[in-house]
Homo-oligomer: A and B are copies of this chain.
Amino acid sequence: MSATHPPGQRGDSDGREGDRHARAVWSALAEPGDAVAGALVQACGASASLAWTADAVATGRVDWSRLEETAGELDGALRRRVETAVRRWAPRWRSLDPERDRAAASRCGARLVVPGDPAWPRGLDDLGALAPFALWVRGGPPTAARSVALVGARASTTYGERVTVDLAVELARRGWVVVSGGAYGIDAAAHRGALLGGGMTHVVLAGGVDRAYPVGNASLLEEVVRTGGSLVSEVPPGSTPSRGRFLQRNRLIAAVSHATVVVEAAWRSGAASTAHHAARLLRPVGAVPGPVTSAASAGCHRLLRDGVAVCVTDADEVAELAGTVGADLAPPPRPEVTRATDGLEPPARRVHDALSRRTARDVEQVAARAGATLAEARAMLGLLELEGLARRVAAGWVVTDGHE
């Protein structure tokens, strides 16, 4: 793109289309998570800030008065950050080609989604200056009334993958949309489980949505698109995923989801970074525990220890974590094998414990053994007899196995 004809200066630069175009350019110009670019766009709008940048890149000097007219006065430190940012954008300016990006998007069936579009996930706005300028999207809109991110290690175990699939299947069946990063391991298991459960799933990619990355998940990603889910990226089609972009991508996963759950993660891991992003956004964070002997669970246990995450062990607990307080409460403690004596109050239980199956005991012996008064022992024996838990025999009382 020629610097003398800055991409932000088009006839409709102040309208919706101008904003859309400028955001597409910003998505190619600034690296994901570039806070200076984000702040400029927030302060002056995408079009005006792009026009200003075009001028700065072309002339090699920054027009402070024009910038401060809308952005307000900038102190020395801020000015230095802006100057550095302009020098950072300059080398990339020359390789910008919005038409090429648009063509690439059209070839892979991707469209641009910008703030204000119905398909824009509102959760992204919580990122403030770190919000993406735009999203490149394949498939359905990357929004959801109820969404939860299931993320985790690429180097997952059979245990972790099985738990992830189970969680995703159950969540999908209850209408939750599962969000993840499309990577091998836990991410793939999350998407696969959501599809198995008949649900929708969104894949937030670090590179362009035209690149199935990793290649081994290509058919899974196509399946996501076919079933109404979406592939999402903040960089234009054709962009390569880099380590920095993987890390920045994690903030998007956290921001588009109502909660983030880490299923397996090494001590230091990208999934843990997603959890921290979610925590910073005040979104609920869950971690699935695993064997302490498994390195693949060390990151989850670390999140639990640090108080970043809540321990979650099944879909009920994930739904409670991610859901509306009160409306999505996990069911009460699961029923276990119940014993006939379960409902007994402590005094009755003590008297029950004082009885033998074979040796008959009289009331006084029972009272002494139970540490009960004679009256208590008598009353409790009557109660136990009613419940079918004790039986009167010739020589006193014996215990029985419940209703006989």
Contacts and interface: CB of A to CB of B under 8 A. Distances in A.
Given A87-B375, A350-B244, A368-B91, A311 B317 contact: no
Contact of A373 (B30, B90, B314): B90
A373 B289 contact: no
Given A301-B289, A371-B30, A268 B336 contact: yes
A291 B159 contact: yes
A311 B334 CA distance: 22
A322 interface: no
Contacts of A293: 159, 162-163
A87 B311 contact: no
A222 interface: no
A313 B336 contact: no
A292 B304 contact: no
Interface in A148-166: 159, 162-163
A377 B91 contact: yes
Contacts of A163: 292-293
Contacts of A372: 88, 91
Interface in A348-404: 349-350, 353-354, 364, 367-377
Nearest to A167: B292
A92 interface: yes
B159 A333 contact: no
Contacts of A84: 373, 376
Contacts of A243: 349, 353
B373 A88 contact: yes
Nearest to A335: B267
Nearest to A89: B371
Interface residues of A, number: 60
Interface string A68-111: 00000000000000001001111110110000000000000000
A133 to B, nearest CB: 14
A298 interface: yes
B289 A353 contact: no
A256 to B, nearest CB: 23
A289 B311 CA distance: 9
Contacts of A313: 292, 298, 301, 305
8 contacts: A31-B350, A84-B373, A242-B369, A244-B349, A290-B290, A292-B314, A302-B333, A304-B311
Given A163-B293, A242-B354, A289-B297, 17 more contacts: A84-B376, A87-B373, A87-B375, A88-B371, A88-B373, A89-B371, A90-B373, A90-B374, A91-B368, A91-B373, A91-B374, A244-B350, A267-B333, A267-B336, A288-B292, A289-B289, A289-B304
